[in-house]
Amino acid sequence: MATRIHLFGASGCGATTLGAAIGQRLGIPHLEADDYYWLPTDPPFTDKYPKEERWRRIRERLQGHDDWVLSGGSVYNWGEGLVPAFTLAVFLRLAPQERMARLRRREADRYGAALDTDAAMQEKSRAFLAWAAGYDSGAEGTRTLEQHRQWIRELHCPVLTLDTRASVADLTDQVLAALK
């Protein structure tokens, strides 16, 4: 039986890190949804691939692979063709204050000194963090906890919910145990 795992949650919940660890442990490809959603730009995350191009690129990457791990919270609203293939969905949760602290650190690591000197970069980061903070409260125009909960009710595969305060090794073990 194929292993096709999808990890998702709010931005900053650790889906990419955990997906990479699971892929490495199982020796299967790990795909990050953002790599197929966003065009490579400088600064990043400004222009989206057309939906058809996202699909073409994913199909090309998965050609010859029955098993894979896909991480990324946005797939629920554009990856409907992948959903029937999931053998396990993993919903990752993290307290909002911890998640936002992770995201602020990630923004600082990603953009460095530009966050102190570049007004456009500061605004882009501020807007992203405001968007991400809206996840738990259900802010308009953002991916939300309630949207994910609704999507979970529609999934036709087992769903494992994990708190990502645990170590990546422990989380990986929990996902692998759920596959058995």
- The per-residue pLDDT for range 109-121, each reduced to its tens digit, is 988 988 899 898 8
Q: Above 90 in pLDDT, residue 41?
A: no
State residue 45's pLDDT score. Answer: 85
Are residues 8 and 72 in contact, defined by beta-carbon separation less than 8 angstroms? Answer: yes
Distance CA 66, CA 107 (A): 34
Are residues 15 and 72 in contact, defined by beta-carbon separation less than 8 angstroms? Answer: yes
Rounded to 5°, angle at Cα 70 from 67 and 73: 155
Tokens encoding 95: 């307290």
Please choose, from the candidates 130, 179, 126, the residue with its C-alpha nearest in 3D space to the C-alpha of residue 157: 179
State residue 143's pLDDT score. Answer: 84
Fold category of 4-95+143-179 in CATH: Rossmann fold (3.40.50)
Please choose, from the candidates 21, 2, 67, 4, the residue with its C-alpha nearest in 3D space to the C-alpha of residue 174: 21
- pTM (2 d.p.): 0.91
